[in-house]
Amino acid sequence: MFELIWRPEALDELSDIYVARLKPAERDRLAVQVERLNRDLVRDPFEEGESRDDPQRRVSVLRDVTVYFKVVADTVTVFRVHRRN
């Protein structure tokens, strides 16, 4: 199992998207997506998303957001969340 850390900036981005940009039904859908992502990142982050130019950096494209994270040793750090258009 991996340790999962959400950087404060990523949590701020996620909450901004959740509160300011989504309708109630979309909020519920996003909550489910993020819960599933958290579960998957703790289990095996290398099976989630795809790698980027740095092998430690990965991106997961969900229905409503794109989540950027880094895997170092046994720690996964989410460092950016971006609203998908």
The predicted structure's pLDDT at residue 40: 98
- The full 3-state SS of the chain, as one line of letters, equals CCEEEECHHHHHHHHHHHHHHCCHHHHHHHHHHHHHHHHHHHHCHHHCCEECCCCCEEEEECCCEEEEEEEECCEEEEEEEEECC
Give the range of the structural domain holding residue 54, as residue numbers without chain letter.
Answer: 3-83
Tokens of 33: 């997506």
Task: Tell me the mean pLDDT in the region 1-26.
Answer: 95
pTM of the predicted model over 0.85: yes
The predicted structure's pLDDT at residue 3: 98
| Reported confidence tier of residue 55, pLDDT bands at 50, 70, 90 | confident
Query: Are the beta carbons of 41 and 2 closer than 8 angstroms?
Result: yes
Of the CA atoms within 13 Å of residue 82, those in its CB half-sphere come to 9
The predicted structure's pLDDT at residue 25: 87
Task: Tell me the mean pLDDT in the region 2-14.
Answer: 98
What is the CATH number for 48? 3.30.2310.20
**Across all residues in the chain, what is the average pLDDT?**
95
How many structural domains does the chain have? Answer: 1
